[in-house]
Amino acid sequence: MLKALRSSSCLQQARFATGASYLHSNSRQLSSPFHRLLRSVLGDKNPKLVQRVFFCSDSSDVSESDAVSAIDEVESKSAAAIVPTAMKKPDDFLEVLALPLPHRPLFPGFYMPIYVKDPKLLAALVESRKRQAPYAGAFLVKDDSGSEATNSDTEKNIYELKGKELLNRLHDIGTLAQISSIQGDQVVLIGHRRLHITEMVSEDPLTVKVDHLKDLPYNKDDDVIKATSFEVITTLRDVLKTSSLWRDHVQTYNQHIGDFNYPKLADFGAAISGSNKLQCQQVLEELDVYKRLRLSLELLKKEMEIHRIQESIAKAIEEKISTEQRRYLLSEQLKAIKKELGLETDDKTALTDKFRDRIDPNKEKIPPHVMQVIDEELKKLQLLEGSSSEFNVTRNYLDWLTALPWGNYSDENFNVLRAQQFLDEDHYGLTDVKERILEFIAVGKLRGTSQGKIICLSGPPGVGKTSIGRSIARALNRKFYRFSVGGLSDVAEIKGHRRTYIGAMPGKMIQCLKSVGTANPLVLIDEIDKLGRGNAGDPSSAMLELLDPEQNANFLDHYLDVPIDLSKVLFVCTANVVETIPGPLLDRMEIIPIAGYITDEKMHIARDYLEKNTRDACGVKPQQVEVTESALLSLIENYCREAGVRNLQKHIEKIYRKIALQLVRQGTQNEPSVLENESNQSSTESTQSSTNSTHGATESKEGEPRSDTTEETEVKTNQASDLKDPEATEKVLVDEKNLADYVGKPVFHAERMYDQTPLGVVMGLAWTAMGGSTLYIETTQVEQGEGKGALHLTGQLGDVMKESAQIAHTVARAILAAKDHENPFFANSKVHLHVPAGATPKDGPSAGCTMITSLLSLAMNKHVKKDLAMTGEVTLTGRVLPIGGVKEKTIAARRSGVKTLIFPLANKRDFDELAPNVKEGLDVHFVDDYNQIYDLAFENEKLKSLH
């Protein structure tokens, strides 16, 4: 395309004044029909106003010498004439520098700025211009058929070529170009005439010999040439109507180049067309004027055809969007009118845009039935008045629908080693629980998903059920959400309210999805064994649809009223007592029991987890305090006997809070002036001295007033600076001797109330929601007389325990009759049986054998073997039935120092699965008949009778 460089220095300095004689001499040329037609194209009605400046002189009408002399006459005083009189004629240049043109050829009469990256070539151009030889050859670069590089890469590669390689990449026919200006690496060229390369002269920079080409002779009066040129002009007129830029090209060309003739007309048409460089090169190489006109006409016709196609496409698109645009304009006008009239109380369009912005990123992932509901509600929102109650209902409904993570899933991580590391970091022990979780993750890795199971972690409080659920989420790289259903009695909390109610909300599960932002979180349902049941329905039944993997793929919330896929959600439930969970709900879960911790495990947990975290939370450094093993052991045995470690953590926090206070007080009293007078002054004087020393020496690092002074901020700053220096305070030692100073007197004494149990007293083992515990069964004779045999029960006993006591009384009478048939104890004695274990309700079938032994001990006046504890239920025939909670009961026995245990034979498998450290040092007997218990319990009495 033509570059109209009117601001270049050459054009600014070449101001040509046309005289009357000059215009008169050219009047015949400007008045020809051909030029009148061209002027009609340009819109120029006064040919005398046209200034003619010839930058190239290959016209057959005007010779180069005439052009040069005309320039000299008009501007004899100008030092910046483009073609000075001393300059050589273009015909004299038979050797020129070869300039590669990467994009388009240069046509005679046109400007072209190029960038010369080759420093040698640029220096040669500057030198040529200094030697009054400002001409070079501009040749188009051939396409490299074997390369698919971009234009910038091609241009870069061209400047890397030298000599013969570069010559082979250039077209033979180019243009003699005048070097108009050089600014940096930008060179402005003006095309003059066609050249043909004959041979190479030098390689770097490339210099070639050229022949100057002239157009083949033609007949100006030939009708075919005239008709072709008129068609070119007519096509040019149509082209110029489409763009003002091309019209400027014509005017600039005419002002600076001169009048058109047939060859120039053909060059101009090809130059302004948008054709590719090879087609333009073909026009440049054509010396036959008629053929050149034909080629230029083809390019212009193609340009017009492209423009017509463009117009048809634009028209089709305009017709397609006209309806939507019209509706948009009308809606905007309606908005403006409503705004002016004050009818628009809420910006519904902004709300609609907000909702659509939410769903647009995941539009393809949203199910079709949900997308249909969203579209219907959006249309409904536009029709509702902002002040109506239904408007707020619809807006809230859309807010929930669009805020849910439709189809957004977090990437799961099924790395078993990584999960093992996280579980070990967060929890000590629990080997069987960790193994089961790792099995679950391994199955998920093989299946590609971890759905299909609902895990229920059951165990006493404080054993880490909730934190295990959090660790599973961390190991699987899932979002974690917890909600507790303890005491929940409203079904709407799970399945949502109807939208017609005031303050209606979706259920907990929908709130969870909105909160976490993914459709596959890990949801921890806490305290599922404490679900309530009220007038608003049965929540446990509503949980069935939520947890059942066969149903929750189409979970229906009452508020949303559209099915939601919850099959990707991993549910983990926690419970203290599995027995209180409804059967249908329990059937859908996989129970993973978590028993309490023994003393050794508590020691590790306290040392490796609780103490470290508490120390960091209190800001105490490890070198400032030492808690001995004996202190921790005493803390566990005398203060924190629970199955879990939550109470142990509270006591450790209590210790470290007192240590923190002690360290701060030591740091406050470490000032030398205070220490010197400490023995002779009261505590009030000491405080006053510390305050005065702080005011007197503000630069001191250790002086600080007490916290009850007015300068409280300064005190806190000084205290913090004191504690930063471990040497400023003495190390605090916590051992068994001073443990009571930190946590008070021991809460528990030995669970064993007797070293040797008296007559009628037997130690049993019980399981509660808080874990295992020892349980004494006491029996005493209340009244004796013939026919007064009876049984009186006391203690927090449930129906099951009462029935066990009645059965035990009957079985004990039968055994006594078999062992000592002459003993009428039960027939003539009223017996009182008591279970002294506080106010904790006890109701479980595991104390039958203990009650029988207690009754027989009283009836036979025999002591039970020392360090013996037993558990098990006995039938009327004397068979011992299995019980639950073997691990908890074993831990309780170890805590009480009992060495000999009696379990039902059916529980041997449960005992074998316990960890070795739990079973270590215990003498365990497994029985299936009470007679075996009798032999074990009264073994010492047998030995005495033998002696």
Coil vs helix vs strand at 719:
helix
CB-facing half-sphere around the CA of 6: CA atoms within 13 A: 6
Please report where in the chains the tokens 């203060």 appear, as a residue: 639
Residue type, 895: R
CA atoms within 13 A on the CB side of 130: 6
Give yes or no: 889 in active site: yes
Identify the active-site residue in 846, 854, 857, 896.
846
**Cβ(885)–Cβ(775) under 8 Å?**
no
Cβ count near 334 (within 10 Å): 12
What residues contact residue 103 under an 8 Å CB cut-off, 6+ apart?
A: 151, 277
Count of alpha carbons within 13 Å of 200, Cβ hemisphere only?
Answer: 13
The string over 618-635, giving b where at least 16 C-beta atoms fall within 10 Å of a residue's C-beta and e elsewhere, is bebeeebbebeeebbbbb
Could you give the 3-state DSSP secondary structure of residue 462? coil
Q: Which of 264, 348, 602, 889 is catalytic?
A: 889
- Is 612 a catalytic site residue? no
Query: Please, are residues 775 and 818 in contact by the beta-carbon 8 Å criterion?
Result: no
How far is residue 752's CA from residue 634's CA, in Å, rounded to a whole number? 16
Residue 44 to residues 34, 51, 231, 251, Cα–Cα distance (Å): 14, 12, 20, 9
Residues in the chain: 947
Q: What is the DSSP letter of 607?
A: I
Annotated binding site for ATP: 459-466
Residues 6+ apart with CB under 8 A from 74: 16, 17
For 495, residues 6+ apart whose C-beta sits below 8 A from its C-beta are 507, 542, 545, 556, 557, 558
Q: In 3D, which of 731, 736, 723 has the Cα closest to residue 618? A: 723
CA distance 29 to 48: 12
Do residues 173 and 213 touch, judged by C-beta distance below 8 A?
yes
Three-state DSSP state, 525 = strand
User: Annotated active-site positions, please?
Assistant: 846, 889
